Structure 1
Amino acid sequence: MRTSQGAAQGSHAAIALELLRRIPRVGHTTAQQLRDQLAAAGIVRDERTLQRQLKRLIEQFDIECDDRSKPHAYRWKSHAATLSMQRLTSQESLLLTLAEQHLNSLLPPTLMKSMAGFFAQARSNVDPRAPHEAPYANDLDRQWRHKVRVVSETQPLLPPQIDPQVFDAVSHALYLNHWLNIEYRNAAKALVQARVMPLGLAQQGPRLYLVVRFEGYDNERSLALHRIVRAEVGPSRFDPPPGFDLQRYDEDGRFGFGEGEKIRLKFRIEKAAGQHLLETPLSEDQTCVEGKTHLTFTATVVRSEQLRWWIRSFGNAISTTSPRTI
């Protein structure tokens, strides 16, 4: 049987390992930041306890403490051979830096906070300005980050401003299946107060949308996150509606302002304007008949405002033959 003393030593060792993994080589971290990262990962320790443990780690490892001002800052020494778990490979570093950029608004803040040390290490490994002694880093690795980019296929727009406190409350309630009390400014500029079930978060271009079910209703709606001016996590949980599925909600065209009605669309389009549809079809059952100057497509799609906008964007280069009204 494991003694209480042995259990305590095992606990101290586990915490020490977690601290070592999160202390950066480039930049600094504080005991409070480490405490918050551990708490986000489900490990709760008070700051004073962590300070004592950090003091012991400084004596045993190549870690330096900047104690010229408070709070004290910690990092690995430049020449230190950090733990193997701390060393990310080139591929891992590149993947983590890209993931941080593109998943930042789609992952729970607690998860992002618990990964802060790993993201910082990954960034330093592929940062051209970082010291060349960084583990597993070389010039080609550092250049790669500037060789990949996600580009927009429409006119680029700046993302709307979202209140950080609103985002934290929304993602927290979404993660925990808690009711959310909100104040929401609709498209008509009217301020609406409501209690909602947060069911899903989706990014569409530069905007984030929260799928909710309003209290007392049995259908779902999408709310633009930047229009929520206040959000508070309620104390009570809810059971997610058994029939709701975010993927199906998307496939039904709900983010494109549709209601899930599928139609068999047939249209004629000039070759220059429609050539790309031969490479990126509208649907799996799409067919095409090629003429001298035009292409005639038939495809099963969801009737929506987004579809109407897409058709109108081609102007006189396109004409629909079925159905008569989109």
Structure 2
Amino acid sequence: MQVAQRHKHILHFIPEAPKSISAKALRVKYQEDAGDITLRMLQRDLNELYDTESNMIKEKVGQGLFWSFEPGTKTSQLMTPSLALAFNMFAEYAQHLLPSSVNKQLQGQFNQAQRALTDPKLALWQSKIATAPPGFQLHKAEIDEAILNTIEQAIIDQAQLKIVYRNRPKNFVHHAAKERLINPLGLVIRGNVYYLIAHTPENQERAFVVHRMSSAERSYNEVVFPTDFNLQAFMKKGGGVFPTDEYVDLELKVDRNRGHHLLETPLCPNQTVSEFDEQYFIIKANLPVNHELHWWLMSMADFTEVIAPQSVKKKVIEHLKDAMSMYHL
């Protein structure tokens, strides 16, 4: 039998950890399926495979050696350098989007990818690519990992949750945390904040901020989920925290020098620009009206004037007056 074919049969009988197999036990399985092989040849093959298979584990127990694969990696033994690069970059930039349970299952592949990136040119690529935040950002709120794991599993299993939740303080009054029974519908990550979208006993869908939960446990009550719920549609309606589908035709007068970046990075695909005078230009753009738009306009207020619509202009003026009052002006 060719060496490659023999190695293929050997790999087939090696289990994933925490299970493992000795060379003697593996020889019995091999002979039942693929024919005779000496223990000496099998041990030599195992050592050769261990040198080439980055996800293979060799563990000494007593006087013998036991063999296994890292959990979750046996089905993907052949990881090409390109695939390894993809796994490594996913782990760095997007791993937080996966449920914790899935992350644990994939940890073996992530470890394997780190070792399998043998192509020096591809390995160098990771050190040549970086991401930078678009501007000043708040740090991520502290979230209890056990609570997040419970939420993720409840969403997957479509199970009810019992949470202890504190609402945001209103008018300087801190409300005591309350126990709630909710039916989780989805998880939304917005910037550095995690939101659990859930159906409440009041027959409403609302967003719960995960870092305001002090506990979460699965409830085994019978659950009836709304059949017509759509997470994307809920987000488009705003849900009290997300941008809505309400758009305005925004018109701005912008200082040429300080607002030049708006010509290079438009506010929207259909943005139009026209001349005003030597110092200013006019931008027109159709944009969603929400808190982010008002915050952005305030950050540009010292070199940008809102021309239209009047509702947005009025809101900016109110914010500017409030800002001046903070400085007793």
**Alpha-carbon shift at residue 286 of structure 1 (Å):** 2.6
- Letter matched to residue 210 of structure 2: L
- Letter matched to residue 262 of structure 2: L
**Alpha-carbon shift at residue 202 of structure 1 (Å):** 2.4
Partner of 2:187: 201
Pairing 1:59-208 to 2, within 5 Å after superposition: 61-62=46-47, 64-67=58-61, 85-126=76-117, 137-188=118-169, 189-190=174-175, 191-208=177-194
Provide the aligned C-alpha RMSD in A. Answer: 3.5
Q: Please identify the structure whose Cα radius of gyration is greater.
A: 2
Partners of 2:308 and 2:239 in 1: CA distance: 22
Partners of 1:54 and 1:183 in 2: CA distance: 53
**Alpha-carbon shift at residue 151 of structure 1 (Å):** 1.4
Contact conserved, 1:274 with 1:295, CA < 8 A, in 2?
no
Counterpart of 2:58 in 1: which secondary structure? strand
Query: Structure 1 residues 308 and 55, CA, compared in 2 at 3 Å: closer, same or farther?
Result: farther
Counterpart of 1:105 in 2: which secondary structure? helix
Query: Structure 1 residues 258 and 64, CA, compared in 2 at 3 Å: closer, same or farther?
Result: closer
My pick for the range that moved more, 300-309 or 277-286, is 277-286
Q: What whole-Å deviation, never above 9, does each CA across 1:233-280 have from its counterpart, x for those lacking one?
A: 23244434414232x444455586545432222222223343333343
Contact conserved, 2:21 with 2:67, CA < 8 A, in 1?
no
Query: Structure 1 residues 241 and 313, CA, compared in 2 at 3 Å: closer, same or farther?
Result: farther
My pick for the range that moved more, 53-62 or 314-323, is 53-62
Query: Structure 1 residues 102 and 172, CA, compared in 2 at 3 Å: closer, same or farther?
Result: farther
Partner of 2:319: none
Partners of 1:18 and 1:314 in 2: CA distance: 65
Counterpart of 1:95 in 2: which secondary structure? helix
Contact conserved, 2:22 with 2:67, CA < 8 A, in 1?
no
Contact conserved, 1:257 with 1:306, CA < 8 A, in 2?
no
Contact conserved, 2:163 with 2:180, CA < 8 A, in 1?
yes
Query: Structure 1 residues 103 and 199, CA, compared in 2 at 3 Å: closer, same or farther?
Result: farther
Query: Structure 1 residues 301 and 67, CA, compared in 2 at 3 Å: closer, same or farther?
Result: same
Contact conserved, 1:125 with 1:142, CA < 8 A, in 2?
no
- Letter matched to residue 247 of structure 2: K
Equivalent pairs counted in the alignment come to 268
Partners of 1:234 and 1:53 in 2: CA distance: 43
TM-score by length of 1: 0.69
TM-score by length of 2: 0.69
Partners of 2:209 and 2:234 in 1: CA distance: 16
Pairing 1:30-49 to 2, within 5 Å after superposition: 31=18
**Alpha-carbon shift at residue 301 of structure 1 (Å):** 2.1
Contact conserved, 1:256 with 1:304, CA < 8 A, in 2?
no
- Letter matched to residue 315 of structure 1: A
Query: Structure 1 residues 171 and 243, CA, compared in 2 at 3 Å: closer, same or farther?
Result: closer
Counterpart of 1:116 in 2: which secondary structure? helix
Query: Structure 1 residues 175 and 101, CA, compared in 2 at 3 Å: closer, same or farther?
Result: farther
Partners of 2:240 and 2:266 in 1: CA distance: 20
* 1:233 aligns to 2:218 (yes or no): yes
Q: What whole-Å deviation, never above 9, does each CA across 1:182-205 have from its counterpart, x for those lacking one?
A: 112222143132222322222222
Partners of 2:194 and 2:60 in 1: CA distance: 40
- Letter matched to residue 261 of structure 1: E
Pairing 1:202-281 to 2, within 5 Å after superposition: 202-218=188-204, 220-235=205-220, 236-246=222-232, 248-252=233-237, 257-281=242-266
Q: What whole-Å deviation, never above 9, does each CA across 1:176-225 have from its counterpart, x for those lacking one?
A: 2222221122221431322223222222222222222322233x333322
Query: Structure 1 residues 187 and 175, CA, compared in 2 at 3 Å: closer, same or farther?
Result: same
Which stretches in structure 2 are left out of the alignment for 5+ residues?
1-7, 28-38, 48-56, 313-329
- Letter matched to residue 177 of structure 1: Q
- Letter matched to residue 171 of structure 1: E
Greater RCO, 1 or 2 (C-alpha within 8 Å, sep 6+): 1
| % same residue | 23
Query: Structure 1 residues 53 and 222, CA, compared in 2 at 3 Å: closer, same or farther?
Result: farther
